[in-house]
Structure 1
């Protein structure tokens, strides 16, 4: 008996820009990106901590670095990354405990994570600057 193999027509390349992710998948990817961003920015944050705690002169360097608009924008992005990573991490812990794994609950919790992280970023950002 001869076996007939049927080959599926698969794309030669994957067009990532055409894939439409559901909201929970988008939150998952943002969770990974924010974690990687926080890890990669750790040397910059440690530099800022060192400049702020060393002496009065080094605190002036810290103040000069942080007062620059680009640094403020970077720190605001880091604030969002931390808050999103924290909120999404809580969501994923709840999912690991089988809370909210139904489709509608997962979609609404993903929406809540995005909204809460953005609102907290705006509130804390306005308060700090």
Structure 2
């Protein structure tokens, strides 16, 4: 029995709408935050052990790698928060139409980029 169904294995030809990209990105940032919080919880717990451990974490957080991890964690949190608010508003019955859903997705992604840049400026300067 031969099934006649379309097969599209070229992923570069698939174009997702902005609302789908925003929804997928919300899920991805949630999973990434779960793993990023390992570093946050470690730094928090270790810094509370003694004054010397606090000073060590404080010195460690001045490195470029630590600042990059902190910036990444902050940007994940920002997008997940913005995307979550968007989903909550949609759950209340707003922005469910194609035009308003696309607009809200584009606004969330644009606002996320602006806030990510501002978070980077705040961390590095």
Smaller-chain TM-score range?
Answer: 0.7 to 0.9
Q: Kindly tell me: are residues 106 and 52 of structure 1, through their superposed partners in 2, closer, same or farther at Cα, counting changes over 3 Å?
A: same
Root-mean-square deviation over aligned CA pairs = 2.0
- How many pairs were matched up? 124
Residue in 2 aligned with 1:10?
A: 6
Residue in 2 aligned with 1:42?
A: 37
Runs of 4+ more than 4 Å apart: none
Name stretches of at least 5 consecutive residues in structure 2 with no aligned partner: none
> Normalized against structure 1, the TM-score is what?
0.84
Stretch of structure 1 that moved more, 100-109 or 60-69:
60-69
Q: Deviations over 1:15-51 (max 9, x none)?
A: 3333111111111111111000001122211111123
Displacement of 1:95: 0.8
Report if aligned partners of 2:26, 2:79 keep a CA contact under 8 Å in 1: yes
SS in structure 1 of the partner of residue 61 of structure 2: helix
Matched, 1:58 2:45: no
